[in-house]
Copies of this chain bind each other. A is one copy, B any other.
Amino acid sequence: MLITRQHHPDNLETPAHALLETLTPAHYVRSHFAVPALDAAEFRLKVAGQVASPLSLSLAELRALPATTHVLTLECAGNGRVYLTPKASGVQWEVGAVGTAQWTGVPLRTLLERAGVADNAREVVLVGADEGQMDDPVKSPGHIYYSRSLPLSKALDNVLLAYEMNGEALTPAHGAPLRAIVPGWYGMAAVKWLTEIRVIDHAYQGYFQTVDYARWERQDGLPPVRVPLSEMRVKSQILTPAPHACVQAGEELELCGAAWTGGERTVQRVEVSTDGGQSWQDAEWQQDAAPGVWRHWHLSWTPQQPGEVKLLSRATDSAGQVQPAAHDPHRGSYEVHHIVAVPVTVKAKQEHKEKS
């Protein structure tokens, strides 16, 4: 049911039609290295660094702590990369490197409070058990573990250490036995096969937030600086009709899609154009707004004239951020959230139907 974009490691995308449901029946998989062999019985999560009392917890101890359940949308920071021109290297995701699941686990805050975060703590590094050599775009120094940091404020806010996905034990492909879930952030922060949490007193400059999964930002008129990717950007996708679909003039159909944004924001508006951007109409929502979760939208459309039509959608979030018309080169091959046209062909009314 998933589309294979890469084998070894597996990078699997959800087909567009499966994104029309609130919980994604087959959630995308983004891996950097082979799935590590972790024995759940032997598993320990270490919490160390700038803390008063380092911890080492078994899965049973983690499961014995008060649990939280969240429905959350994760989007891979490279989702939509196939729409970039010129072509960018990397996994050629179309629309399906995004999905929504129900995650159950222990709040990261619970463990940080138990360990006693020191006054000089600034970031929390999440280290996975998956490891290997990166060669592109810059060679890593031999084998490295996948790792990512969070600002302490985010780590203490709403990050989850999940051991269940949709009410069942996590599968190996999704990070079993333990995975970080970082609401409102791109998926690269949701470290899989999580084995260590390290509190540090400075900004972490690991491979996956400097060389990879980083963007450029201009600050104070200086040359651009490298900034780790973090919160998802406001985005909408048209899911039906499919690109290059044929539709019938004079026949009503439903334009459907999903929209989401990052941080604590919610997506507030989706406008749709059926004439390549000359005019726009507000779509209707299928769900209420909640931070960290997508909303499905729909709009009824009766094409009038035969011909080629470009369908567009444009989302606006609660901070007033709007999907841009073009991709921002500062974001490299990530954060692809500009408006992407879906071309469809409107066929003339079938004459035999009119005659009957």
Q: Give chain A interface residues in 251-303, CB to chain B under 8 Å.
A: none
Q: Give chain A interface residues in 117-149, CB to chain B under 8 Å.
A: 125, 127, 137-142, 144-147
Q: Give chain A interface residues in 223-277, CB to chain B under 8 Å.
A: 223-227
Can you name the residue of chain B whose Cβ is closest to the Cβ of A131?
B223
User: When chains A and B are docked, how far (Å) is the Cα of A206 from the Cα of B221?
Assistant: 12
Q: Contact partner of A147 among B49, B139, B223, CB < 8 A?
A: B223
Can you name the residue of chain B whose Cβ is closest to the Cβ of A224?
B141
B49 lies within 8 A of A144 (CB): no
A211 contacts the other chain (Cβ, under 8 Å)?
yes
Question: What is the minimal beta-carbon distance from A345 to any residue of chain B, in angstroms?
Answer: 36
Q: Give how many copies assemble into the complex.
A: 2
Q: How large is the interface on A (under 10, 10 to 19, 20 to 34, 35 or more residues)?
A: 20 to 34
B220 lies within 8 A of A198 (CB): yes
Contact flags A171-210 to B (C-beta < 8 A → 1, else 0): 0000000000000000000000000001010011111001
Question: What is the minimal beta-carbon distance from A222 to any residue of chain B, in angstroms?
Answer: 6
Question: What is the minimal beta-carbon distance from A48 to any residue of chain B, in angstroms?
Answer: 9
A332 contacts the other chain (Cβ, under 8 Å)?
yes
Given the known interface contacts A49-B220, A211-B211, A216-B140, the answer about A226 and B205 at a Cβ–Cβ threshold of 8 Å is yes
Q: A125-B222, A139-B329, A203-B203 are in contact. List 14 more A-B contacts (CB 8 A).
A: A127-B222, A127-B223, A137-B137, A141-B332, A144-B224, A146-B223, A147-B222, A205-B226, A205-B227, A206-B223, A207-B223, A207-B226, A210-B214, A210-B225
